[in-house]
Structure 1
Amino acid sequence: HGKRYAVIVNEFGEIGIDNDLVVGADEDVFEMNNGCVCCTVRGDLIRVVAGLMKRQRPGKPAFDAIIVETTGLADPGPVAQTFFVDEDVKAKTQLDSVTALVDAKHVMARLDDSKEAREQVAFADRIILNKTDLVTEAELVEVERRLRKLNPLAPITRAERANVPLDQVLGLGGFDLGRILDINPEFANPAHGEAGHVHDEHCDHDHHDHDHSHHDHDHGPTHGARGHAHEDDIKGISLSLERPMDGTKFTAWLDRLLGEQGQNILRAKGIIDVHGEDRRLVFQAVHMILEGDLQKPWGANERRWSRAVFIGRDLDEAALRAGFEACAA
């Protein structure tokens, strides 16, 4: 495409996975391992964006655009707000648009049980309706009806494997501050959540249970009575193992896990060192839908280890860790 993009990835979980999955890409990927963007955006994100803006190519900026990829658990509002409340960022960047990537197979259930999912759809300038090959046309029509009810202004683009033309998501000039003010009247107020949102590197996050009660967040009425957008029962669990895995054992365990607990596993992804295999096994899952394949070979001097992150509701960390480690060769 001839463009140079910087990609900022926010990880949910203490072991970064996405940076290793971006194989052979020219883009620079920055991971912010806090998992709760709404708590860190004015600290980490501003510092990362400021660092990117200091880079230069002869006669022009180092990047044509900066893409911020939050997780499916993040409220896009504070991310967008960063580009308006920080004077340096505001002076040197222009927020182009917010895109929501929607899972056509599972979104209806998420919209029913997640205020955040509804806010993400309502916040978007563009909705990419992905995995359309996994549902019927009638189901797609119903999903689109529901999405349009939440957001009548955002165009909906159907996609498989998130494959869409770049001009459908980049360079839209579609960000409309007025619409976001309608969604959250406190959006453009720099004092909104100030005490709870301006964290520095000394902020103590517990990544296993994601308990933020010690921050005394005050989000105001638009964030609901619970006081924080993330449900207490949703957490990210990071697993790692230095020994090679038995590929058959691991596949059987993962299949069984998703079959039994897939309804509660929102996302899972990992990179596995399979015994006797020169290539790494890369997998990702959404609920009970699992995708995995052998990918890039391990380097001669590269550290070979297995790591995985599971994000979901009511997950038993001890049981997950025991099952994962039992797959060792």
Structure 2
Amino acid sequence: MAIKGLGQQAKLRTCHKAERRICCSATEEYVDVEGDVIDNRIPVTVITGFLGSGKTTLLNALLKQDHGRRIAVIENEFGEIDIDSELVAFKESVEGDQAIMMLNNGCICCTVKEDLLVMLEELVARRDKFDHVVIETTGLANPKPIIETFRAFQPVAEHYSLDGVLTLVDAKHVGQHLDEEKEEGVVNEAIAQVAYADRIILNKTDLVSEAEVASVERRLSSINNLAQVVRAQRADVKAEYVLGIGGFDLDRVADEVLEEAEAGSGHSHSHISVELEGDLDLDLVNDWMEDLLIDCSEDLYRFKGVLAIDGWPDRFIFQGVHAVFEGTPGKPWKEGETHKSRMVFIGRELNAKLLKEGLQQCLV
């Protein structure tokens, strides 16, 4: 059963536990072995953050850590790759005059001057040389196009899985970036970078007071309370915080949404939680989601949820980025357990009242 109007972007599936499958937004590739799902795609971490937040410092530190992974780093920037020279073994050229550096620790670095898709295709041919891809965005970038590349393009989704989005935040200067007024309809990139994040590094905390750090943390939470935040100086964090995020792993989404519902904290207009008891009518949910994404997809940075569907023995776990949506059946409801649907919306100028009323209208 497909969410109407979304084509390959979303499918609700009824399947037995022995048929558990990974459902990608733009591919039908599944690997089942005795009921377990094996995903052999290449995990990708997107690192974003405003100019001067410490992205390159983080990358250099990451490449020097003894974490046992071979990393392919893609810098979506103009100019040369700013990787410490002591790491570089040699350079070579590929099609389109995009430089590839082979590092002496077994990692690969490359600069994308034109098309990210072309570089990803080039790297597939070198699959045996790395275990993980890290993409560093330009400081002024809205992460949306890169995220959607991994959710909506079948050739990419067949070979790569988006592990998560990590955002670096400059504790000293983030306030002025978040407060910057934009023309109507223009996205504030700093807010978008926080809104898309699965994890945040609050960097340069040594340059501000404890009270200022706490104030920034509250501000970040008001935009995106689902993102884990760690404080840092000189972007010094363990590799485990950057790699293996699992932000787009639907098995983790349910717990994340549940924790958000239990917290019950108030949020600004950018972060909205909706909870409702009872089972939902699948057809009504389809119609509501179609209308919602047609009308509001540009304002919905990310949304996640756990739904109780009438006649389904399992929870339905889903998440989306703008109009790209995916989901799969989750854990079964226990006998006698109260069926609840929980949804979390992160975006701009969202109407909590209308969202709650829309979900209520889907009740059986």
Length-normalised TM-score, structure 2: 0.45
Higher percent of residues as strand = 2
Which structure has the higher relative contact order (CA within 8 Å, separation 6+)? 2
Q: TM-score scaled by structure 1? A: 0.49
